[in-house]
Amino acid sequence: MNEPNPVSYHKIEVDGVNVFYRKAGNPEKPAILLLHGFPSASHMFRDLIPLLSDDYYLVAPDYPGFGQSDCPDRKSFPYTFHELSEIIETFTEKIGLDKFAMYVFDYGAPIGFRIAVRHPARITAIITQNGNVYREGLGKKWAAREEYWTHPTPELRKSYQVAFAPETIIDQYLTGTQEDRVAPDGYTLDIAYMSRPGIAEIQSDLIFDYQTNVAMYPVYQEYLRKYQPPLLAVWGKNDPSFIYPGAEAFKKDLLHAEIHLIDSGHFALETHAFEIAEYMKRFLEKKLE
């Protein structure tokens, strides 16, 4: 028996960069753009996509420097969140995504919200899973990062490369989850991607540029207040990086934000893909009908 909505895998050239993406579902159905986080890539959606592909058209790209997309030289390509958002925006246009809901996680939040601010009419709904746009959602580690942004030194830049170490990546996956619930596949692949030559400097550029995301929180919040997009927050409540008050903070700016805290950590899809898919189905059926 054939799989009714198989996932397919593609590359497309965007401003000189080959962007890898996976897709599934009928393009005539409502679209969802899935935006991954650090240190991962579109494979983080491998369990979620089949659960939604009967009813939605799902597209999940890898950003430049991540996953199977090109890693252009940082001397010619600026690794900033603005640049990544420009690439993903153009990517959506090239594949014909005129309007879409967006699922934003971790790094996907500042990338997706930049696109939303520039093109609010294109965004039909937002699903945020530990995708933060409030200071209330910043865990303890961010105070040290802000000190680094204010007083950067080569030594501090080097010290933050611990973020790409295998033990750190594994800890991101396991912290806040129930024992023996997280398969090793996701973090093993992330470790392989982060170990490639040149990736440490690329990722160090993005860690330093993350300060622009925090600076833009008021802009993202104004977008939410002005346009009131339908928003579902499904948040791993045990995430020490983007803590759950960041999910609850959406209620400050959105009259009808729907918030669900899940008993998981940062990579909540690793343990709760089915539960998150069910929340998404109920939410999107109401908001996109």
Active site residues: 266
Kindly state the percentage of the chain with pLDDT values over 70.
Answer: 98
User: What's domain 8-287's superfamily in CATH?
Assistant: Alpha/Beta hydrolase fold, catalytic domain (3.40.50.1820)
> Phi-psi region for residue 95, left (φ > 0), alpha (ψ -120 to 50) or beta?
alpha
Instruction: Say which residues have a Cβ less than 8 Å from residue 195's Cβ, sequence separation at least 6.
Output: 164, 166
Contact between 160 and 204 under an 8 Å Cβ cutoff? The reply is yes
| Residue 37 in this model has a pLDDT that exceeds 50 | yes
Nearest to 35 by CA among 116, 98, 136: 116
| Residue 1 in this model has a pLDDT that exceeds 90 | no
pLDDT digit string, tens, across residues 213-258: 999 999 999 999 999 999 999 999 999 999 999 999 999 999 999 9
Element (DSSP H or E) covering residue 269: helix 269-287
Q: For 242, which DSSP code?
A: B
pLDDT digit string, tens, across residues 103-160: 999 999 999 999 999 999 999 999 999 999 999 999 999 999 999 999 999 999 999 9
- The two tokens of residue 230 are 């339908």
pLDDT band at 97 (very low <50, low <70, confident <90, very high): very high
**Size of the chain in residues:** 289
pTM summary value: 0.97
3-state secondary structure 101-120: EEEECCCHHHHHHHHHHHCH
